[in-house]
Structure 1
Amino acid sequence: MADQISEAQPQVYLQRDQPEGVPPLALTGERTLPDVPEENYWYRRHLIVYEWIREQVGGLKVIDMACGEGYGSGVLGAAAREVVGVDANPEAHEHARLRYTDDRVRFARDLVETFAEPADAVVFLQTIEHVQNPDEILERFKALVADSPSPVVYVSTPNVLTLAPEGAEKSGNPWHVKEYRPEEFHALCAAHFSSVEMYGLFHARKLAVHQLAIERLGWDAIHAKLGLTKKFYNWFTPAISAKDFTLTADRPLTGALDFVAVCRP
Structure 2
Amino acid sequence: MIRLPTTERVTPDSWALRVTFWQSLAAYRWACTQAHGKRVLDVGCGDGYGAAELASVARWVVGLDSDRSALRHAAQRYRTPNLSWVQATAERLPFRSGSIDVVCCFQVLEHLANPAHFLAEVRRVLAPGGLLLLTTPNREAVLSGLNPHHVREYDAESLRNLLASFFEHVEGLGVFPSARVRTYRETNRQAVERLLRLDRFGLHQRLPPELRARLHALGTLLVRRWINRHTRQLVESIGVADFAIGPGDLSHAIDLVGIARRREPAPNQEFPLDERVLQD
| TM norm structure 2 | 0.74
1:25–1:245 distance in 2 versus 1, CA, 3 Å: farther
Choose which of 133, 136, 143 in structure 1 pairs with 2:124. 143
> RCO (CA 8 Å, sep 6+): is it higher in 1 or 2?
2
How far did 1:239 drift? 3.6
CA distance in 2, matches of 1:108, 1:127: 16
1:55 equivalent to 2:33? Answer yes
SS of equivalent to 1:150: strand
Alignment partner, residue 74 of structure 2: 96
Aligned residues: 225
SS of match in other structure, 1:263 = strand
Q: 2 CA distance for matches of 1:230 and 1:205?
A: 17
Amino acid paired to 1:193: F
Distance (whole Å) between structure 2 residues aligned to residue 26 and residue 183 of structure 1: 35
State yes or no: 1:124 paired with 2:122. no
Determine if contact 1:38/1:234 at 8 Å carries over to the other structure: no
Per-residue CA deviations over 1:10-50 (Å, capped at 9, x if unaligned) read: xxxxxxxxxxxxx9966412322221111111111111010
Name the counterpart of 1:162: 141
TM-score, normalization: structure 1?
A: 0.78
CA–CA distance in structure 2, aligned partners of residues 201 and 27 of structure 1: 26
Matches within 5 A, 1:183-262: 183-204=157-178, 206-208=180-182, 210=183, 231-249=229-247, 251-262=248-259
Match of 1:153 among 132, 139, 146: 132
Note if contact 1:205-1:245 (Cα within 8 Å) is conserved in structure 2.
no
SS at match of 2:21: helix
Gaps (5+ residues) in structure 2?
A: 195-225, 263-280
Matched residue SS, 1:206: helix
Secondary structure, counterpart of 2:147 in structure 1? coil
Structure 1 stretches of 5 or more lacking a match? Answer: 1-22, 165-169
Q: Is the 8 A contact 2:65 2:89 kept in 1?
A: yes
Misfit runs of 4+, over 3 Å: 23-27, 228-231
Q: Does 1:134 align with 2:107?
A: no
Same amino acid, percent of matched pairs: 29
| CA distance, structure 2, for counterparts of residue 25 and residue 181 of structure 1 | 32
Q: Displacement, 1:232?
A: 2.8
Q: Kindly state the Cα deviation for residue 60 of structure 1 after the two structures are TM-superposed.
A: 0.5
Q: Is the 8 A contact 2:105 2:134 kept in 1?
A: yes
Root-mean-square deviation (Å): 2.5
Seen in structure 2, the aligned counterparts of structure 1 residues 149 and 137 have a Cα distance that, compared at 3 Å, is closer
Amino acid aligned to 1:201: V
